[in-house]
Structure 1
Amino acid sequence: MHLEIKQAHVGYDTTLISNANADLKLGDVCLLIGNNGVGKTTLIKSILHQLSLLSGEILINQKNIKTLSVKEIAENIAIVFSKSSIPQHYTVEDLISLGKYIYYPFYFELKKTGPRRSFIYYRRTGIGTIPPHAS
């Protein structure tokens, strides 16, 4: 997976974030932090194509998100927010898989087949990938 944000301007009636640029590849970890109301969630909504950019472009695997289906976006991107109301007994695997709803039938089938096939699935989707700088 390769996510590129190029000269993105996000906002509603007014621009909240100007000239945002990023180049993220599979295994990269990205934190988006800032004060309330500065546009963090607005940028995330734009990355997920839930909100149109004011200008600029967002590419997933060199394809503009405007040309991708909801399924194609969900196959490549999952967002984990720092605050949530998810019960504490969930594992990290459970939390990450919540963002992969497109894969649910396949995911639950693999849970029955054992860890070997699950490992293959996780490697293919990027779940369970440890970034080189984190190992």
Structure 2
Amino acid sequence: MTTLHMSHTYETDSGLVHISPPDVTLLHTVGRRERTRMLEQYVREELGRILGIEPHRVDTTGRPMGCLGIGSISGIELQYRMEAVLGVDLNLQRLLTANSAQELIECLVGQFGPESHLHGAAVPA
């Protein structure tokens, strides 16, 4: 069995960016607004890593994932990393066809907290 090394830093034209995965235990205890903030930052960092840009430059609302530059290979990598870090199941097909990164974020938000039993798996088919 091999283990993929998951770097928590990546380089952009402006320098190194550190990825700060959210504390999964904390995600289960904070309110929906704070969960959204934490997961949005994490998703921005992961997408920024794939795209080679700073997290604040990732468009989370205006463009579908494919238009952001997330294809099948980068989608598999994103799926693997998020599943490993967050301990959730992501549907790759749904991730790739999401209307925006915000749609992915909202699905992830639904996986944590007291209302998580209402949402099922993140990014459902």
Give the TM-score taking structure 2 as reference length.
0.29
Structure holding more strand per residue:
1
Which one has the largest radius of gyration? 1
Give the TM-score taking structure 1 as reference length.
0.27
